[in-house]
Amino acid sequence: MDLYNYIKSLHLIFVITWFAGLFYIVRLFVYQIEANDKPSPEKEILLKQYKIMTYRLWYIITWPSAILATLFAIWLLILMPAWLQMPWMHVKLGFVVLLIAYQIKCHLIYQKLQNDTFNYSSNFMRLWNEGATIILFAVVFLVILKNAFNWIYGVIGIVLFSILIMLGFRFYKKIRERNKS
């Protein structure tokens, strides 16, 4: 059982650093997109710095954390194979697949931004950032409650909270635009 606790602890540590990387990388995408609209030489200075920051975050923290969290999760499933028979674990693994898809999409966005291709607005990136938050809430509620259905209330709550944040963001944006004119 000691081995299990060490592996579980390492899994949780790397899940936390993985999510921290995902939360921060999208925030850096926002800054990078907004820097692209700045005048020279500020634009070039900021873009160069953000490219360095995103590279380091992505390859030194986020990807290694994702890989290590996954490896420790597989090890936990090997130690506790009965979990694979539980419905909540099936749902959790579905969210993990969704998280991996989210990371892959972030990687594609990262590559575009590293090549100075700006396909998204900073507002889109702010919304995109909520994706990891929703997955995190869903998985935490699911793991704690160990029920494939009760986690829905937590997800509904975070979705509603995200909608309120976005409505507040839009309201604030309109106020800023009115004050500029």
Q: State the binding site.
A: 11, 92
Tokens of 94: 């579905």
32 closest CA partner among 137, 152, 114, 88: 114
DSSP secondary structure of 100-127? HHHHHHHHHHHHHHHTT---S-HHHHHH
Do the Cβ atoms of 109 and 29 come closer than 8 Å?
yes
Q: Which amino acid is at 41?
A: P
Centre a 10 Å sphere on the Cβ of residue 151 and count the other Cβ atoms it contains: 23
Binding residues for heme: 11, 92
Phi and psi dihedrals of 86, rounded to 5? -95, 130
Residues 6+ apart with CB under 8 A from 131: 102
Helix (H) or strand (E) holding 99: helix 87-114
Residues 6+ apart with CB under 8 A from 20: 61, 65
